Amino acid sequence: MIPAKFDYLAPTTVADALAALAEHGDEAKLMAGGQSLLPVLRLRLNAPEVVIDLGRIEGLSGIREDGDVLVIGALTTHDEVVNSDLVKTHAAVLAKAAAQVADPQVRHRGTLGGALAHADPAGDLGAPILALGATLVIEGAGGSRTVAADDFFVDLFETAVGEDEVLTEIRIPKHTGWGAHYEKFVRIKHQWPIVGIAATVRMNGDTIAEARIGLTNMGSTPLRARSVEGNLAGSPATEEAVGAATAGVADGTNPPSDLNGAADYRKHLARVLTRRAVLKAAGR
């Protein structure tokens, strides 16, 4: 498991990282926590000439409030997200999903920004980021720009981050007081989800006032189930009503078929698991 030879750069500022990217172009690969990149290198599935390690850049990690927004630095580890009171209070579905990423070792090294930029459709964190309507801050030579989560995931392992850009921050509108649940369906614990459902709901008594639903591994990118969200608004939080409201969650999705299940089975799972996730998020 020896990677092909590469040069290693460890810039200490975003500007230096951008300069390195500009110099090496598509021969370079950014590394955050390395939990997805290193296996790829070791298996020689990819052989970049330069690896640019973002880990020495000050200020890219940490969680803070900015008014109605929670700001998470791209290099914040999953473990920090899981244990953050701010995240648990204002973006609980993200904390719950991050708690189920891989295993403890990976959660201590892997980062939120790295996972999102890697854009594995089976990654656990795209779905909650979509559900929470986050905004992603991307820095490039010309300064920084923001992209809505809806526009961030372009395709399999492809995002709105350009080859000469760096994802620096994830800005999440506070969902204070929203119930949340991440329903991850796996055969063994450290597996990528066969299907994952991120659900967060705002309750009004026994009624679901608002719901946000993100789907993991139901297509080439994480998906947001807007029509289901619409159905759920105003729905009573009962098994029957939620079941009816979420029945169409798999419509129009294009999940993969692999050793863990055929596409049709995944669609079936998505229906069952979305109902369950919403009910759990609603405290039922």
Partner 1 sequence: MTATAEETTAEVGREIGKDRRRKEDQRLITGRTRWTDNIQLNGMLHVAMVRSPFAHATITSIDTTAAKAAENVVGVYTGKDLEATQGVCINAWPITKDQVAPTHTPVAIDRATFAGEIVAVVVARSAAAARDASELVDVEYAELPAALDLKEAAADTVLAHPDLGTNKSAYWVFDSSEAGTGGDVEEAIAAARAGGIVIEREYRQQRLIPAFMEPRSVVVDPTGEQITMWSATQIPHILRFALAATTGVPESKIRVIAPDVGGGFGGKLQTTPEEWIVWDLARRLGKPVKYTETRSESLMAAHHGRDQWQKLTLAATADGTVTGLKVDLLADMGSHISLVGGGVPVLGAFMFNAIYKFPAYRFACQTVLTNKTWTDAYRGAGRPEATFAIERIMDELAVEVGVDPLVIREQNWIKHEEFPFTTVCGMQYDSGNYEAATEKAKQIFGYDALRAEQQERRARKDRVQLGIGVSTFTEMCGLAPSRVLGSLDYGAGGWEYASVRMLATGKVEVITGASAHGQGHETAFSQIVADRLGVPFEDVEVLHGDTQVAHKGLDTYGSRSLVVGGEALVRAADKVIEKAKPLAAHLLEASVDDIEFGNGRLTVRGTDKGLALTELALATFASHNYPEGMEPGLDADSTYDPVNFSFPHGTHLCAMEIDTETGEAKMRKYTCVDDIGNIINPLIVAGQVHGGLVQGIAQALWEEAVFDDSGTLVSGSFVDYLLPTAADTISFDIAHTTSPATSNSLGTKGVGEAGTIASTPAVVNAVVDAIRQFGVNDVVMPCTPERVWNAIQSGGSSEGAAQ
In the complex, the residues that contact partner 1 under the rule CB under 8 A are: 1-2, 4-5, 43-44, 103, 185, 187-192, 194, 258-262, 265, 268-269, 272-273
What b/e string do you get for 19-42 counting C-beta neighbours within 10 Å, with b at 16 or more? bbbeebeeebbbbbbbbbbeebbe
Nearest distance, CB of residue 153 and partner 1, angstroms: 21
Tally the residues of the chain.
284
Helix%, strand%, coil% for the chain, nearest 5: 35, 30, 35
- Measured CA to CA in angstroms, residue 88 lies from 196, 203, 227, 236, 274 at distances of 19, 17, 26, 25, 21
Q: Which is nearer to partner 1, 175 or 276 (CB)?
A: 276
For the CB of residue 238, give the shortest distance to partner 1 in the complex, in Å.
Answer: 16
Q: Using the minimum distance from each CB to partner 1, give the nearer residue, 35 or 168.
A: 35
Closest CA to 249 of 276, 230, 267: 267
Q: How many Å apart are CA 7 and CA 52, to the nearest integer? A: 8
Measured from the CB atom, is 11 or 261 closer to partner 1?
A: 261
Compare residues 44 and 226 and give the one whose CB is closer to partner 1: 44
- Least Å from the CB of residue 87 to partner 1: 23
Cβ atoms within 10 Å of 148's Cβ, excluding its own:
12
Cα gap 144→135, rounded to integer Å: 12
Shortest Cβ distance from residue 275 to partner 1 (Å)? 9
CB of 155 to partner 1, least distance (A): 21
| Cα dihedral sign, 11-17-23-26 | positive
- Give the position of tokens 């029957």: 240
As measured in angstroms, the least distance from the Cβ of 100 to partner 1 is: 11
User: What does the alpha-carbon distance between residue 18 and residue 13 come to, in Å, rounded to a whole number?
Assistant: 9
Cβ-based neighbour number of residue 215 at 10 Å: 30
* Residue ranges with strand state E in the chain: 7-9, 28-31, 50-53, 63-66, 69-73, 135-140, 143-148, 153-155, 158-159, 166-173, 179-185, 195-204, 207-216, 223-224
